[in-house]
Amino acid sequence: MNLTDRIVVVTGGAGGIGSALARRFAAEGAAAVVVADVNADAARAVAAAVGPVAHPAGVDVTDEEQVRALVADTEQKFGRIDLFCANAGVSTGGGVDAPDADWDRAWRVNVLSHVYTARAVLPAMLARGGGHLLMTCSAAGVLTAVGDAPYTATKHAAVAFAEWLAITYRDRGVRVSALCPQGVDTPMLSEGLAAGHLGAKVIAASGAVLTPDQVADSVIAGLAEERFLILPHPEVATYARRRAEDPDGWQAGLRKLVRRLTA
């Protein structure tokens, strides 16, 4: 897919990665970019900065009715959705003792919202025999996010759901991609570092922390190649291979890193 004349929706569009995607899609010639976020004021500010092709929308992706309304409004206004970027996500910084409310929020934002999105966008995409769903998961979904158990479990579920969708719908014309970055310089990471979360420290120590614009570069390349797994940090593929081939050795390496960071 190239972005010229495309109708695009980006959830979490007011955040670090989402706003970079919105900017980049507009620069690539998209006809409309809907910047959707639970923080409606921030979505308005991002849309205003992106320019006339951007349209703000307030949406809580954990509310199925709101997701359905976002999709219906966009289809009504612009005729279709070519690319839906389900990008909203939350981290918790918690372990097994994280309160149920944190586990629940991570499940709802990081997993259930993707189910709501798929239900809402698939009917028109299948009827048209075309469309692309990009789900921002995380390297945590193919590896592990040390220090954040709810994030790890829910991002693994998100990658699994994305893979299930890709296999089920590809032959009917609908493409699915899972975007799985490691560290990216956004409020999610900087707030984790400021709070002293182990997970944020491990991410910062594990490799390059990319800018959101660099992630957007990878997304453009991944969409052009219609790749399922989009890895802005290519080393994540090497880590995933090591993890699959030698789970005990891979875990030992991570434990060593944690010991070094917590000594």
Ligand X SMILES: NC(=O)c1ccc[n+]([C@@H]2O[C@H](COP(=O)([O-])OP(=O)(O)OC[C@H]3O[C@@H](n4cnc5c(N)ncnc54)[C@H](O)[C@@H]3O)[C@@H](O)[C@H]2O)c1
Minimum distance of ligand X from residue 183's CB (angstroms): 5
Give residue 81's identity as a one-letter amino acid code. Answer: I
Q: Angle at Cα 188 formed by Cα 149 and Cα 160, nearest 5°?
A: 45
Minimum distance of ligand X from residue 15's CB (angstroms): 2
Minimum distance of ligand X from residue 56's CB (angstroms): 12
DSSP string, 218-250: HHHHHHHTT-SEE-SSTHHHHHHHHHHH-HHHH
Q: Which residues bind ligand X (CB under 6 A)?
A: 11-12, 14-18, 37-39, 59-62, 87-90, 109, 136, 138, 181, 183-184, 186-189, 203
Residue number with CB closer to ligand X (48 or 252): 48
- Whether 236 contacts 182, CB under 8 Å: yes
Residue number with CB closer to ligand X (53 or 178): 178
d(CA 93, CA 117): 26
CA nearest to 173, candidates 123, 221, 222, 231: 123
In the residue annotation, 169 being an active-site residue is answered as no
Burial class (CB in 10 A: 0-12, 13-18, 19+), 123: exposed
d(CA 91, CA 149): 9
Minimum distance of ligand X from residue 47's CB (angstroms): 13
d(CA 49, CA 249): 47
Burial class (CB in 10 A: 0-12, 13-18, 19+), 198: middle
Minimum distance of ligand X from residue 128's CB (angstroms): 26
d(CA 14, CA 25): 14
Residue number with CB closer to ligand X (126 or 240): 240
* Selected catalytic residue, list 116, 151, 169, 239: 151
CA nearest to 222, candidates 100, 94, 135: 135
Residues designated catalytic? 151
